[in-house]
């Protein structure tokens, strides 16, 4: 989307120079009050001018910007650091361009297969386009709604309140983006293919998808998401116990498969070595009995208890 932001090109002077000139004007104003009636009138006029000129000073620190508005018309943005004086009738809206953190509390959503999960994220955001931030969304009204009126009922402009309004906008859009991205992936590979990306195993892929979705949603507000990562992921409490038992069962099955695979390999190796080294000749029944005994010993949960057979193999 094309930006309408441009640098302020209006009249401005060094703030310290203007401060020196105002001191001279103040001295001239005071001097006029010691003259005749005409001098007093001139002094009142100069005092009014001096008071108006005081509202033209602007101080900018690194990563700060001031949006210039002249009677409702956008005149550009001033981002150069320093101390300046501009037209005192210019409305000056200061914004912070510094990066900010936002920790989105875990929310309950349904994953791709419909399981309720809790998912949260942490992100780093900052303003990128001051024009969009000020005029494409109702940021000033949101900031005013978050401000507390003074004793006269007036609501004054505050940079912190303005940035809090932007943060609230980011939080709402982050909630919507998180719900959409979480619904595109399954929690894990229990009910989907092992090669499919899931929320647990996706890692960077899911985070990149989330980052792109957030930037698409916040571009209209002139806000850039620098980084976004899922920092909390769990099943919802109502199914957590069931899913835990299911994971435990899968872990037991996987372990049993490894144990059986290893036991079969060991039994096969034992039979082959007995035959290769001619230790003893075993018929089919003896091999079957040996395989059965070895598998029981190797696959059992507890250590085998020795039993002495004092008869023959067939007793």
Q: pLDDT digits over 140-164, tens only?
A: 776 666 555 555 454 555 788 888 8
The model's pLDDT over 217-267, given as tens digits with 9 standing for 90+, comes to 999 999 999 999 998 888 888 776 776 777 777 777 777 778 788 878 888
CA dihedral 209, 210, 213, 217 (to 10 degrees): -170
Question: Which positions ≥6 away from 220 have C-beta within 8 Å?
Answer: 1, 132, 136, 137
Q: Residue 138, CB half-sphere, CA atoms under 13 Å: how many?
A: 5
| DSSP secondary structure, 99-152, as one string | -EEEEEEEEEEE-TTS-EEEEEEEEEEEE--HHIIIIIS-HHHHHHHHSPP-TT
Q: What are phi and psi of 131, to 5 degrees?
A: -65, -50
pLDDT tens, position by position, 116-143:
889 999 999 999 999 999 988 887 776 6
- For residues 310 and 64, give the distance between their C-alpha atoms in angstroms, rounded to a whole number: 93
Per-residue pLDDT band for 306 (boundaries 50, 70, 90) equals: low
Residues 10-60: pLDDT tens digits? 889 999 999 999 999 989 888 888 887 788 888 899 899 999 999 999 999
Cα–Cα distances in angstroms (integers) from residue 93 to residues 66, 67, 207, 225, in the given order: 5, 5, 34, 23
pTM reported for the whole predicted model:
0.71
Strands of 57-60's sheet, edge to edge?
12-14, 82-86, 57-60
Domain ranges in the chain are 12-95, 100-235, 246-299
Question: What token pair was written down for 85?
Answer: 């004086």
Q: Which CATH class name applies to 100-235?
A: alpha beta
């Amino acid at each position: 989307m094309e930006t309408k932001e441009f640098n302020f090109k209006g009249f401005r002077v060094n703030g310290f120079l203007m401060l020196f000139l105002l001191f001279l004007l103040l001295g001239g104003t005071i001097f006029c009050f010691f003259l005749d009636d005409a001098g007093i009138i001139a002094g009142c006029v100069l005092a009014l001018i001096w008071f108006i000129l005081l509202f033209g000073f602007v101080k900018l620190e690194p990563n700060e910007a001031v949006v210039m508005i002249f009677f409702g018309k956008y005149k550009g943005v001033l981002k150069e650091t320093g101390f300046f004086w501009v037209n005192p009738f210019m409305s000056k809206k200061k914004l912070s361009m510094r990066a900010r953190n936002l920790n989105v509390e875990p929310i309950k959503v349904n994953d791709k297969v419909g399981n309720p999960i809790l998912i949260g994220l942490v992100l780093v955001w900052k303003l990128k386009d001051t024009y969009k931030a000020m005029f494409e969304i109702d940021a000033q009204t949101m900031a005013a709604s978050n401000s507390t009126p003074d004793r006269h009922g007036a609501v004054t402009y505050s940079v912190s309140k303005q940035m809090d309004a932007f943060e609230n906008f980011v939080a709402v859009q982050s909630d919507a983006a998180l719900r959409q991205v979480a619904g595109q992936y399954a929690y894990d590979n229990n009910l989907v293919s092992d090669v499919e990306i899931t929320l647990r195993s996706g890692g960077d892929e899911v985070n990149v998808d989330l980052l792109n979705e957030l930037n698409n949603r916040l571009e209209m507000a002139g806000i850039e998401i620098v980084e976004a990562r899922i920092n909390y992921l769990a099943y919802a409490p109502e199914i957590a116990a069931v899913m835990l038992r299911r994971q435990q069962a899968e872990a037991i099955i996987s372990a049993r498969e490894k144990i059986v695979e290893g036991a079969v390999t060991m039994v096969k190796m034992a039979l082959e070595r007995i035959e290769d080294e001619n230790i003893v000749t075993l018929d089919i029944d003896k091999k079957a009995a040996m395989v059965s005994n070895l598998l029981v010993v190797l696959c059992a949960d507890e250590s085998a208890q020795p039993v002495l057979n004092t008869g023959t193999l067939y007793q």
